[in-house]
Amino acid sequence: MYKTQIVSTMNKKFNLIPALIIISMLFLTYSCEKEEDIQEKLDLLEGKGYYPLQIGNYWKFAGSPEKRIDSIRIINEKEYYRFIWETDNYYRRLSEGKVYFLHYDGITEEVLYDLNAEVGESWYHSMDEVTGYAERVTLSSKTDTVTLNNYTFYNCYRFNFEYTDPLMVDDEYSIWLAPNIGNVQSVGDFGRSILDEVQIDGVKIKF
């Protein structure tokens, strides 16, 4: 009798395993949109460019705080979009494709991305007034492919960031911008961080 009870209990436990697998698969299926559904939504965003700026836009990366545009602020007679992400950050994009961010001193603005730069072109920002070291940004590619959980982006821009400070040489990283979405992937010594959910111009996409 005792042995029969043990076998019965074990059978129940093993029977749970397939059920848990099925539940997990269903969760993944419904938590991520299908490729054709994602493409249909992306078609609505055609023409938004590689760095879409609009109040209400947000980007969610797994394990990271949400980055959201919540307002427009006039600073030094210039119009900036305020990003809420750990701390407040201010960005603006000019018609020629340059994306500026406002330095933490609240006065200086620097080029973060130059979307019309040639591949291999570099520029500097975040220069330390004491050491003279800065961060060098290089547009390394305009044709990269980035695959997320359930969708593949083509013709992504890859920007490489490296510090001129020799003590920070190991802190290099890269950021990929996808058309009509913006940042979809970052890779560095922290590992790989990919976009999990985004909302652009009211269109929400779950990858």
- pLDDT (tens digit, 9 = 90+) per residue, 107-157? 889 999 999 999 999 999 876 655 567 789 999 999 999 999 889 999 999
* Cα–Cα distance, 157 to 121 (Å, whole number): 13
Domain membership of residue 60 as a residue range: 32-206
Total domains present in the chain: 2
20/36 same-domain check: no
Do 102 and 80 meet the contact criterion of CB atoms below 8 Å apart?
Answer: yes
40/8 same-domain check: no
* 170, HSE (Cβ side, Cα atoms, 13 Å): 4
Q: What is the largest CA-CA distance in the chain?
A: 85
99/168 same-domain check: yes
- pLDDT (tens digit, 9 = 90+) per residue, 151-176? 999 999 999 999 876 665 667 899 99
* Cα–Cα distance, 112 to 141 (Å, whole number): 16
* Cα–Cα distance, 180 to 47 (Å, whole number): 6
CATH of the domain at 115: 2.40.360
Alpha helices, DSSP H only, in 77-189? none
* Cα–Cα distance, 159 to 122 (Å, whole number): 9
Handedness of CA 109, 111, 115, 117 (dihedral sign): positive
121/197 same-domain check: yes
88/72 same-domain check: yes
Average pLDDT, the chain: 84
108/6 same-domain check: no
11/93 same-domain check: no
Q: Is the pLDDT of residue 201 over 70?
A: yes
Give the pTM: 0.80
- pLDDT (tens digit, 9 = 90+) per residue, 58-85? 999 988 889 999 999 999 999 999 999 8
53/136 same-domain check: yes
* Cα–Cα distance, 161 to 171 (Å, whole number): 9
125/48 same-domain check: yes
43/101 same-domain check: yes
Q: Are strands 67-75 and 58-61 parallel, antiparallel or unpaired?
A: antiparallel
